[in-house]
Structure 1
Amino acid sequence: MWKKRAARMLYFYMVIFLILAGRLVQIQLWEPESFSSHHINLLEESVRQRSQELVIDDGRGRILDRKGESMTHEDLSVLILFPFLKNASWPVEKVANAVGVEENEILQAVKQAKAPFALGEPKPLSLTSSQVQLINSLKIPGVFAVEKKFEKQDAVAKQLIGVLGENETELSKRYPDRSLPLRTQIGISGLEVSFDEILVAERKSQLVYHVDGSGSPLFGTKVKYTGITNPFYPASIKTTIDLDIQKQAEQLVDKHGIKKGGLILLDISTNSILATVSRPNVNDKDPFKGNGMVNLMLKEQIMGSVFKTAVAAAAIDYGLDGEERLYDCSRTIDGRPDQVYQHGLLGFSDSFAMSCNNTFASLAKELMEIDPNILEEYAEKLSLTGGVGWRGHVFQIANFSQLPDEEKGRVFISDEERNDRNYVALSGIGQKEVRATPLAVANMMATIARGGEKEMVRAVSEITYKNGAVMYTFPENKLNGEQLSSGTAKELGQLLREVVVNENGTGRWFSELPYEVAGKSGTAETGRFKNGKQLHNKWFAGYFPYRNPRFALVTVNLDVYGHEGGVNPLFADMVTFLSELNDQAN
């Protein structure tokens, strides 16, 4: 009996031994770098447990403004201290004198440290080049002066740039043929994701110090540097953003109380984004909380009277812009007395300047009778639909898009609407299903300013190697499709200027600005209500200086009550700022 029991016990222990041996083989030989369903890198974890590491550069490529200044990070020379110093005897007074702080401040920081750190974090003490040389000349183990990469606390254009995150499944899916550390950060939104393949880190630079279980030095006091030695990588992208203009734009958007909306500013000559602001802003503590990650400048919005610009273009080309014809601008589009506006009889130009709904509803219906597709054709000619962000062939990517989150805009959603006079009348004043992104509206203004030439909008101008050499330049690409004639564009420009100079024009607010402005206002009913009151989208879109156009600007305030504004003073302050900036440059 006892022999059978012993045999069963022996058999049981042999099974356990074989299971453990198999598990050991799995860990040591088969899956040391991707263990379990969580794909844990046991080699990395093993090294991490017996070392103290300080990452000085995560290895990801930089995102730069048009002048080459980093938009997301800054490199600072800082004092690095290792926690084993708390148990060592070292000349702290020399270090304190070198960096200009009290000895006790350094000792307290070391005492509280559990990992290597930069003195003063999260606002690290920045050292001069002479201080760096002095610190390193002391050759104190565990004390270093190095250049370290820090995230900017006042980063701007957050929705355009996007956010990063760790996602092992997505990392493997995105880069199946590349051996990247499982904790590599990848782009989740914005330029970070569209340019992720360029920016993604191959490895990081760090200081590594091997320690025992108590945190004491394991192999003497030598700190090892592991880092990037390739002079070409990581590559960076140079955006078209002007950091000085961007910062001012963000301050002005907040100053004028834009809670949902923002602005977008284009350089007309290169058709590039100089500044873009979207509110609400990204929540730094939790980017996925709320709607801050959504770039509203790339999302289609109800346009309101801004769309009258496209109707006007069609009217000009089809000979419906005669000034001898008068429209009753004291009536609504269905012929009833207007309870708000009593403009009387107006011609075509005055109707545009004062944004008469009855005029453009009537013109839209007449154009529909000529061809039901006319409004959509002219929306496309003015780049309001179809998408305007830069796209094209880059390296092996046939249809690369700089702004993949951009929506395309529309006028109608069905043939029924396209052929219904009531729908067409409402569409003619930018209501019903008429949508466009603020980016597309800004590009419409730039298109008119260029005499009808349609171009793609760039957010990035170059990809550069680490040493600054240019890897790739994004050319100024034309947009496909028909465009306005130069004559029609010129007449549209005159109408847009009349909006500002006409004493009753909806843009008279801008008549005394340092730059001559041409533009169009818009107030759209959204169909959404708050506290029983209708919400509106408020717009002003234009370009300046009128006679020598340089900038196209759109300001927009979304889902606000009818009496709320913000877009006009915001537009005016941006024009004034750009004029002053030009004066300083000259």
Structure 2
Amino acid sequence: MEKRRQRVYLLWAILLLAGCYLACQLYTIQVATSLEWASKAVNQRSDGLALYRQRGAILDCRGRLLTDRDHLTYLAVFPPLLTAEERKALAPFLAAHQIKMATHSPVVMANPGAELLRLVAERPMAGITFCTIPLRYGLQPLAHHLLGYIHPATGEGIAGLEAVYDEFLTSDRRVKLALMTDAHQRPIPGLGWRYQEEVSRRPARNLVLTIDYELQSKVENLLNEAGVAKGAVVLLEVGTGKIRALASRPVFNPYCPQFSLNDPDRPLQNRALTAYPPGGMWRLMITAAALEQGVIHPDQVFLAEEESGSGLITLTRAFAYGRRAVFQQVSTALGTEPVLAKAKALGLGVATLRLPGEETGFLPRETGTAVVSGGEKITVTPVQIAAVLQAIAGDGTYYPPTVVEGLQEKDGTWSPLPAEAGTGRPVLTAATVAALRKMLEATVLYGTGRKAQIPQEAAGVEGTVLDGNRGGQPILHSWFAGYAPAHAPRLVGVVLLEDDPGGAERAAALFAALMASCLPSSR
């Protein structure tokens, strides 16, 4: 009896284990891997055409698409589903697209002719349908140089943010167009065409930028309307260092960038990250360093001896009118090292965005006083200048310029990048900031920057650089950099015009149009 009882217990144990195993398997199939099995079942009864490989989108600061905004319509043809009569009617049109009717593989046709579209509309066929494929940069691309471009065949990021974050944006998932069919390849009524995504493969991640789509669009439109041939605009938020818009001219076709390789105007060059001589804008560095060192004060009077004549003038008015002779005197009294040290503290001489083609600019280690006073042999980028003005507008705190917020997962969660975003460091005292602000306001109110005046009030500084001549005409690079509103700064704007005869006045006028359009109160 004891042995018999043991056999019964053993049998029950075996049955219990078998039941647990079957329950686990059922749970795995019905719950854990149900989507995978469903996908396999669908694929078994669907005839698919691979349309494109997924790539992560690039989003603005509010989650709006900067890429993949528009879609192009294509004609998808599934030859096995066409009748003999339909094949005969379509043969001439398909031959024009180099599609052989003998093939059994589905194909997609770009830019179908009007006659073919009319035929499809008048005579619906089971083997033909329309499909849409995302257009990476849209019909009207934005932020060409910042976003960059991808290889047309492999989809690999080649330039700009597409290249820097390629490993995160790339995916091995493909999207296909499928027609649900039975075992005899006949369409199943009521199911029709479906877009299918390979869910078992690694998904792409989206890249979230600090760029504001609306502001970027306004900047692009402004440059187009003004007919700026070569130059750059940077729009930066006060108190954060976040770049809200960045544009460079001339632009290139992101779908065919190879056509711009040998263009003498260098359309592939991002001029917002290119270093130029600061010209008269260098007086910002001299004044900031001198005020910090206590060498001068805003109401100090100087004797300005220039070609236009001599006279007494205060430092504030000398700044507003760009009197170079005064700043030569200040440089002599101050020396070289404090000016260069302050320039470095304000972010000059280093790359901040770490993007392809970004230049660091040039700050000499040792140079003569005259060189420092005029800014010769020194170069800065528009993004660097925007950060300097942001420090003045932001109560003396320097924030490194940033353009990337973070990476967004497929489920919508995201991780912020870069780590240093939002961290600032004090570089100017409150007294220096107050004095510089008065000088920048005076420049726009009655000085050389009067063209930058707007109803909300602005403050800024201009600079012009002579870079040789062409046919007896001077080649001018012109700057205007400032912020608005003057008494409650919200946005910093920098306008650079390369080889533009309009000079600093035209740059100031573009700044005024930029601020009038982009200030939050006017949106």
Please indicate the TM-score interval, normalised by the length of the shorter structure.
Answer: 0.7 to 0.9
1:243 aligns with 2:213: yes
Show the counterpart of 1:365: 332
How many angstroms apart in 2 are the aligned matches of 1:82 and 1:289? 39
Show the counterpart of 2:261: 288
1:427 aligns with 2:372: yes
Show the counterpart of 2:108: 117
Q: CA deviation at 1:449?
A: 1.0
Q: What is the aligned-residue identity percentage?
A: 24
Inter-CA distance 118–487: structure 2 relative to 1 (3 Å threshold): farther
Q: CA deviation at 1:568?
A: 1.9
Show the counterpart of 2:59: 64
Inter-CA distance 342–510: structure 2 relative to 1 (3 Å threshold): farther
Inter-CA distance 457–354: structure 2 relative to 1 (3 Å threshold): same
The farther-off stretch of 484-493 and 543-552 is: 484-493
| 1:212-259 C-alpha deviation (Å, 9 max, x unpaired) | xxxxxxx95689977431597211101111122212211211222321
Inter-CA distance 318–428: structure 2 relative to 1 (3 Å threshold): same
Are the counterparts in 1 of residues 516 and 522 from structure 2 also a CA contact under 8 Å? Answer: no
| 1:349-405 C-alpha deviation (Å, 9 max, x unpaired) | 00000011001122112211xxx311111112222232333xxxxxxxxxxx4x253
Q: CA deviation at 1:497?
A: 1.1
1:378 aligns with 2:342: yes
Please list every run of 5 or more consecutive structure 1 residues that lacks an aligned counterpart in the other structure: 1-51, 93-103, 124-134, 167-182, 210-218, 332-337, 390-400
Equivalent residues in 2 for 1:23-34, closer than 5 Å: none
1:278 aligns with 2:248: yes
Inter-CA distance 59–428: structure 2 relative to 1 (3 Å threshold): same
Equivalent residues in 2 for 1:138-149, closer than 5 Å: 141-144=126-129, 146=131, 148-149=133-134
What is the one-letter code of the residue matched to 2:358? E
Inter-CA distance 230–376: structure 2 relative to 1 (3 Å threshold): farther
Q: CA deviation at 1:453?
A: 1.0
1:350 aligns with 2:336: no
Other structure's SS at 1:494 match: helix
1:310 paired residue among 285, 298, 320: 285
Are the counterparts in 1 of residues 171 and 202 from structure 2 also a CA contact under 8 Å? Answer: no
RMSD: 3.6
Inter-CA distance 90–551: structure 2 relative to 1 (3 Å threshold): farther
Show the counterpart of 2:359: 407
Are the counterparts in 2 of residues 264 and 553 from structure 1 also a CA contact under 8 Å? Answer: yes
Equivalent residues in 2 for 1:225-236, closer than 5 Å: 227-229=197-199, 233-236=203-206
1:508 aligns with 2:481: no
How many angstroms apart in 1 are the aligned matches of 2:522 and 2:232? 26
How many angstroms apart in 2 are the aligned matches of 1:195 and 1:314? 38
Are the counterparts in 1 of residues 478 and 503 from structure 2 also a CA contact under 8 Å? Answer: no
How many angstroms apart in 2 are the aligned matches of 1:560 and 1:344? 32
Show the counterpart of 2:159: 189
Inter-CA distance 122–426: structure 2 relative to 1 (3 Å threshold): farther
Other structure's SS at 1:202 match: strand
Inter-CA distance 70–57: structure 2 relative to 1 (3 Å threshold): farther
1:524 aligns with 2:476: no
What is the one-letter code of the residue matched to 2:234? I
Other structure's SS at 1:185 match: coil
Show the counterpart of 1:18: none
Inter-CA distance 563–306: structure 2 relative to 1 (3 Å threshold): closer
How many angstroms apart in 2 are the aligned matches of 1:59 and 1:486? 51
Q: CA deviation at 1:55?
A: 4.4
Show the counterpart of 1:441: 385
Show the counterpart of 2:274: 299
Are the counterparts in 2 of residues 164 and 188 from structure 1 also a CA contact under 8 Å? Answer: yes
How many angstroms apart in 1 are the aligned matches of 2:112 and 2:330? 64
Show the counterpart of 1:252: 222
Are the counterparts in 1 of residues 173 and 199 from structure 2 also a CA contact under 8 Å? Answer: no
How many angstroms apart in 2 are the aligned matches of 1:109 and 1:471? 50
What is the one-letter code of the residue matched to 2:352? V
Q: CA deviation at 1:202?
A: 1.9
What is the one-letter code of the residue matched to 1:279? R
The farther-off stretch of 534-543 and 553-562 is: 553-562
How many angstroms apart in 2 are the aligned matches of 1:492 and 1:107? 75
Are the counterparts in 1 of residues 396 and 426 from structure 2 also a CA contact under 8 Å? Answer: no
Q: CA deviation at 1:147?
A: 5.0
Q: CA deviation at 1:199?
A: 0.8
Show the counterpart of 2:295: 320
Other structure's SS at 1:568 match: helix
How many angstroms apart in 1 are the aligned matches of 2:113 and 2:64? 21
Q: CA deviation at 1:318?
A: 2.2
Q: CA deviation at 1:465?
A: 1.2
How many angstroms apart in 2 are the aligned matches of 1:264 and 1:530? 28
Inter-CA distance 77–298: structure 2 relative to 1 (3 Å threshold): closer
How many angstroms apart in 1 are the aligned matches of 2:240 and 2:431? 22
Are the counterparts in 2 of residues 232 and 465 from structure 1 also a CA contact under 8 Å? Answer: no
